[in-house]
Amino acid sequence: MTLSDEHANEVNGMQQSTTTDPGLAAPPATATAPDDPTVVTEPVFELQDVNVYYGDFLAVRDVGLRIPSNEITALIGPSGCGKSTLLRTLNRMHDLTHGARVEGEVRYHGHNIYGPNVDPVEVRRRIGMVFQKPNPFPKSIYDNVTFGAKIIGYKGDLDELVERSLRGAALWDEVKDKLHESGLSLSGGQQQRLCIARAIATEPDVILMDEPCSALDPIATLRIEELMRDLRKDYSIVIVTHNMQQAARVSDRTAFLSLDVKEDGVRTGIVVEYDTTDKIFTDASDERTEAYITGRFG
């Protein structure tokens, strides 16, 4: 019942995070090359006037974003500013946190997922999620991948589904001979790829990733980032990361969130700036974005 209370910690720890790496304002030239211009056509998500409350506490406010399809969109910002909170509004995970409330509209391909007569289970079957700490089920690799499909009542060839999904997650070659071993026997990076395979097995439209690499070593991280770039062809990806170099490396668009502090000390998360990654990292419009990117704070 208090499922996502742990994520309320992000809200409760409203403090400036320790800087990860100062500097590196300019991303490598080859990292992001969005095919489309700044105008977003065919958004997969459209957020309008979104506020998120935990009880009486307003965690995130006045969010308006248009997130394009088949691109990687990153949410960056100092810790505690509401990135995960915002991410979780996209698949109605806040339903599971007691006292959490979402106002405003989140339109998925035009349909407001918070509208009446919307089944959150259906929402989550189209919008998958990968979590910060890899959480494969204590089952075999095979059963992990087929779990989601069986839930939906998939009647097709399960073996084929497993191979397809594991290939899609760049894990097939490593595990094809041990499909019936426990998912927990894999290394951290492999477990996370298993979770990705598990998520794409149900052929969702969107994959949400909540700091997917923060529990992994740098090599595993790079593999996952490669994977993300491949997945972009078939899925829309929204990723939360506290590592802005990662955002610069993989994403097409970036939203920078930060804390708005009022005179009475009340802190609320807001989207400060949202643009193509190139623009954010080379020529940010808002000085707060600039300050974060160049490591002057955060």
User: Footprint of other proteins on this chain (CB under 8 A)?
Assistant: 1, 3-4, 6, 91, 93, 96, 98, 108, 111, 113, 115, 117-119, 121-126, 128-129, 131, 133, 135-138, 147-149, 151-152, 154, 184, 195, 198-199, 202-205
C-beta closer to other proteins: residue 132 or 221: 132
Q: Give least dist CB 291 to other proteins, A.
A: 34
For residue 41, the minimal CB distance to other proteins (Å) is 17
Q: Cβ closer to other proteins: 46 or 260?
A: 46
Pick 78 or 148: Cβ nearer other proteins: 148
What is the nearest approach in angstroms of other proteins to the Cβ of residue 23? Answer: 34
Q: Which is nearer to other proteins, 111 or 180 (CB)?
A: 111
Nearest distance in Å: CB 3, other proteins: 6
| DSSP sequence for the chain | -BTTHHHHHHHHT-SPPPPS-----SPPTTS---SS-SS--SEEEEEEEEEEEETTEEEEEEEEEEEETTSEEEEE-STTSSHHHHHHHTTTGGGGBTTEEEEEEEEETTEETTSTT--HHHHHHHEEEE-SS----SSBHHHHHHHHHHHHT--S-HHHHHHHHHHHTT-HHHHTT-TTSBGGGS-HHHHHHHHHHHHHTT--SEEEEESTTTTS-HHHHHHHHHHHHHHTTT-EEEEE-S-HHHHHHH-SEEEEEEEEE-TT--EEEEEEEEEEHHHHHHS-SSHHHHHHHTTS--
* Nearest distance from C-beta of residue 259 to other proteins, angstroms: 26
Q: Which is nearer to other proteins, 78 or 136 (CB)?
A: 136
